[in-house]
Structure 1
Amino acid sequence: MAYLISVNAGRPQPTEHSDMNFTAIGKLPVDGLVSINVPGPKGTEATGVEGDQICDTRHHGGPDQAVYAYAREDLDWWSGELGRELPGGAFGENLTTAGLDVNGARVGERWRIGDSTELEVSAPRIPCRTFAGWLGERGWIKRYTERALPGAYLRVVRPGRVRAGDSIHVVYAPEHDVTVELMFRALTTESDLLPRLLDAGEALPARTREKVLARLQ
């Protein structure tokens, strides 16, 4: 059974690795019920998770990046590679999951968490220098990109409240084969895959669609 190990939120902290001079990538598990709502448009500081915040509003946030999920199984793999413990929230994820193939999820796939909250897979996370600086690992962006375990951004379809231990059910799976991993590879190392992203239809974020169409022209 798939379920939430933790729900994580972060507040701004000083950093030398962002033009904003602050980052909220460091997230910690939150006790009890946490509200999940549709955030404001891109450019606002709040994410879809109660108590969570972003600093670089130019590159992060908005409805297509309302919530970020990462699998505990993938954190454990990285923990073995890096030789260090990676607690829930270590990759800046809002939801640390177990028993769910986050990277194999299809764009447009919908998850019900707990009794009523419903989220939709929208895009992979693309690594940035703030992420690399936060972890303090040399060559991190290259290593992360080559391994292609990006985790998934999610839209909020039905707001609600979630907590650690809640079950996760896939309630809708599209028929196309555009997974989070495939989309990540198309946007990073294998641009020849970009045309395939159009198979995701309306679930594909508008900015990604524009990029694919520009390439096709």
Structure 2
Amino acid sequence: MVIELIHFSIGKPKTIQYAENKEMTSGICKQLVKDAFLSKDGFQGDGVADLRFHGGPDRAVCVYPYEHYDLWENEFHTSLPSSAFGENVTVTNMLEQDVCIGDIYQLGDAIVQVTQGRVPCSTISKRLGIPSILPRIVETGYTGYLCRVLQEGTVRKDSPITLLERHPHQVSILFANEIYFRGQKDVESMEKIVAVPELAEEWRKSLTARLGKLT
């Protein structure tokens, strides 16, 4: 199936208002752009507010499947803005069930590798004004995912995306999400995820710590 880039967005952290006269600083409100250079640290002109949970070489690019937009709009009776979940790249035919940790994609002139599922936070609910969407994202595993950059290059809003290499371990993002969020005692599955050399270091540390307590 052909992968289509629907939205391409970047943006620096800024103060945004939510609820009743509350404020937060976040990079979740990204703007559509025509092109941007992708370095090992992320897109030029892009940024995150909390480096503990976002950004860095293992989390340089955030991807979200476009197919989920219809699901959330129908479930919550709303219309979502572009890049509603703070993703850089909104795509078709790259669902969490089909994308695996370690998979390599050509993205415009750049080459990226999938490293982990995206760990969603309350910023999503606050930005969209839908408190119950965060638990639903976690429940379904429709979190999107993050990538590192193997080859730097320019990405354009109409850049093609092509799968270059499927990782032999075949650990899907959906499977990894299920174990990360709800399979805290599933030793065999956690070991399967940790066995993928290309797994993001933060997830490796977290899962290894859990395994250490169980074994």
Normalising by the smaller structure, the TM-score range is 0.7 to 0.9
Share of identical aligned residues, percent? Answer: 28
Q: 1:128 matched to which residue of 2?
A: 121
2:54 is aligned, of 50, 60, 78, to: 60
SS in 2 for 1:184: helix
Q: 1:164 matched to which residue of 2?
A: 157
Matches within 5 A, 1:12-27: 12-15=13-16, 21-27=24-30
**One-letter amino acid of the structure 1 residue matched with residue 206 of structure 2:** K
Matches within 5 A, 1:67-78: 67-78=61-72
Cα shift at 1:137? 0.9
CA contact (8 A) 1:103 1:150 kept: no
1:82 paired to 2:76: yes
1:195 paired to 2:198: no
Q: Distance in 1 between matches of 2:5 and 2:96?
A: 12
- For these two proteins, the number of residue pairs brought into alignment is 204
Larger strand share, 1 or 2 = 2
Q: Distance in 1 between matches of 2:191 and 2:13?
A: 37
Cα shift at 1:196? 2.1
Q: 2:171 matched to which residue of 1?
A: 178
**Deviation per residue, 1:52-93 (Å, 9 max, x gap):** 111112221100110101111112221221222223211100
How big is the alpha-carbon RMSD for the aligned residues of Structure 1 and Structure 2?
1.8
Cα shift at 1:25? 0.4
CA contact (8 A) 2:180 2:207 kept: no
Q: Distance in 2 between matches of 1:127 and 1:113?
A: 23
Q: Distance in 2 between matches of 1:81 and 1:34?
A: 33
Cα shift at 1:16? 6.7
Please list every run of 5 or more consecutive structure 1 residues that lacks an aligned counterpart in the other structure. Answer: 40-47
Q: 2:33 matched to which residue of 1?
A: 30
**One-letter amino acid of the structure 1 residue matched with residue 79 of structure 2:** E
**Deviation per residue, 1:184-209 (Å, 9 max, x gap):** 11111222232221231x10122222
The more displaced of 135-144 and 64-73 is 135-144
**One-letter amino acid of the structure 1 residue matched with residue 73 of structure 2:** S
2:208 is aligned, of 204, 207, 213, to: 213
Alignment CA distance shift 1:103-1:52 (3 Å): farther
Q: Distance in 2 between matches of 1:21 and 1:101?
A: 30
CA contact (8 A) 1:76 1:86 kept: no
Cα shift at 1:100? 2.6
| TM-score normalized with structure 2 length | 0.87
Q: Distance in 2 between matches of 1:210 and 1:154?
A: 17
Please list every run of 5 or more consecutive structure 2 residues that lacks an aligned counterpart in the other structure. Answer: none
Cα shift at 1:212? 2.4
Q: Distance in 2 between matches of 1:194 and 1:75?
A: 30
CA contact (8 A) 2:116 2:203 kept: no
SS in 1 for 2:7: strand
SS in 2 for 1:203: coil
